[in-house]
Amino acid sequence: MADNNTADNAAEIVAETAGEIAGEIAAAENERDERAERRRRLAAWRASDRVLWRASADGRIGERLAALAADAKALGGTVEGGSDPDGWLDEWVDVYGDGVVAELERRVAALLGFPAAAFFPTGTMAQQVALRCWAGRTGNRTVALHPLAHPEVHERGALGAVSGLRTVHPTRAPRLPTADELRGVGEPFGTLMLELPLRDAGFVLPSWDELVEVVEAAREVDAVVHFDGARLWECAPHFGRDLDEIAGLADSVYVSFYKSLDGLSGAVLAGPESFVDEARAWRHRYGGQLFQQYPAALAGLVGLERELPRLASYVAHAQTVAGALAEGLAEGPAAVPWFRVRPEPPHTHQFQVWLPFGEDLLNEASLRQAEETGVTLFRRWSPAGHGGPPGVSVTEVTVASPGLSWTGEDVRVAVADFLTRVRSL
């Protein structure tokens, strides 16, 4: 009997080992397939001569470094305000946040109308630090935010795991909360966090009056207000207000540099001077006090100089593109019976398109269109999560400088070609 038990145990061990090896092989094959697919996507997007935008992460390292050096030289000026022809290229590299990093902080603080600002390597860190600091100052660790806000969807529960904060949701509707919904939370909260725009709901914004009212409702219960302004830069046209007036509604604001300004990475947290001093201390504790950050800071300065003034034109043209997309999806022999362009019209230069097909089919149709025609209309599709119906996929559309040359007819022709490919697959 002992021999039988030993044989059985050995067989189980062999089977478990074989299963583990098979799983590791499958995982390695999937990883290779994903790398190959990514290279295919990048090659198709790079070769396309008609795109609505180009992401900074699509380029090769040498290209990005050369472009950054050229752009930094074109900026001119230095931290001392000189006019050296080599501009920032002739400055010393930063050390723990001086030089070019400090200059970026100064400029963002001035743009947003705050007395101080601190550069962070990531927006996730900046936002967690901001909410942690406010919790300590208010004595209340509860944060009111939307369930689709970045900390709830994209940060692996960091607010609770790292800082011991908890969250409440004034609404589950795919938009920011109203003043009445905030008043109905039913328990005290120390901070109201508003993501402007709310990306995962379709880059949606409230009206200016609605934003003012919800901020006032937070003040009624002595809560502070923090803006997740990763994409705040392109909100000004929708609100019809300057950046400093928008930011002035809040006690603190975080902004990103790579999402709208074509930067490499990094973020700035702006607010009162004592608050920013405390944020710097927590930045150090979180491991964000990097030795040198001049490439990201230089790219941020370039974005403020070059992309920020153009964003209003991108926002305006996004409405033309979205309207033509809707027309193309609704008309013609390849028209689809159901779709969504959200919001319509767009509130910023980004919006969502929903179609009743699987993501694999739509991704393949998008790639083939790019490879065979040199036109990239859509980039990546994914399942419509966050309560979306099954069998529906969603993509994010961004309109930037390359997209300004597209007419409505260009968009409609591209949509018809794309839908023809979808039907053929």
107-129 as b/e: b if 16+ CB within 10 A? bbbebbebebbbbbbebbbbbbb
User: Side-chain half-sphere of 402: how many Cα atoms within 13 Å?
Assistant: 17
More confident residue, 209 or 16: 209
216/220 Cα distance (integer angstroms): 6
pLDDT in tens, 3-49: 566 666 665 665 566 566 656 655 556 667 788 888 999 999 999 99
State yes or no: pLDDT of 86 exceeds 80: no
Contact 88, 236 (CB under 8 A): no
Residue 72: CB atoms within 10 A of its CB come to 23
For 87-96, what is the mean pLDDT? 87
User: What pLDDT does residue 369 have?
Assistant: 97
Q: Which of 195-199, 215-219, 421-425 has the lowest mean pLDDT?
A: 421-425
DSSP, collapsed to helix, strand or coil, labels residue 25 as helix
DSSP assignment of 239-308 equals HTS-HHHHHTTSSEEEEESSSSS--SS-EEEEE-HHHHHHHHHHHHHTT---S--HHHHHHHHHHHHHTG
The confidence score (pLDDT) of residue 296 equals 95
The whole-number pLDDT of residue 385 equals: 76
Predicted pLDDT at 74: 83
Structure confidence at residue 105 as a pLDDT band (50, 70, 90): very high
The fraction of the chain above a pLDDT of 70, given in percent, is 89
Of the candidate ranges 54-58, 85-89, 281-285, 394-398, the one whose mean pLDDT is the lowest: 85-89
**Window from 33-37, 130-134, 210-214, 406-410 with minimum mean pLDDT:** 33-37
pLDDT at 18: 59
Q: What pLDDT does residue 371 have?
A: 95
Averaged pLDDT of the chain = 91
pLDDT surpassing 80 at residue 81: no
Q: What's the start-to-end Cα distance of the chain, in Å?
A: 59
If one looks up domain 92-306 in CATH, what number appears? 3.40.640.10
**Per-domain residue ranges for the chain?**
92-306, 310-424
Amino acid 425: pLDDT: 86
User: Is residue 215 within 8 Å of 291, Cβ to Cβ?
Assistant: no
| Tens of pLDDT, residues 225-280 | 999 999 999 999 999 999 999 999 999 999 999 999 999 999 999 999 999 999 99
CA distances from 289 to 119, 121, 156, 253 (A): 9, 8, 22, 20
Assigned superfamily of 310-424: Aspartate Aminotransferase, domain 1 (3.90.1150.10)
Report pLDDT digits (tens) over 120-170.
999 999 999 999 999 999 999 999 999 999 999 999 999 999 999 999 999
Asked whether the predicted pLDDT for residue 205 surpasses 90, the reply is yes
113 compared with 77, residue with greater pLDDT: 113
The predicted-structure confidence for 313-367, as pLDDT tens digits, reads as follows 999 999 999 999 999 999 988 889 999 999 999 999 999 999 999 999 999 999 9
**pLDDT at 111 > cutoff 70:** yes
- Enumerate long-range contacts of 43-46, CB under 8 Å, 24 or more apart: 44/367, 44/370, 44/371, 44/376, 45/370, 45/376, 45/379
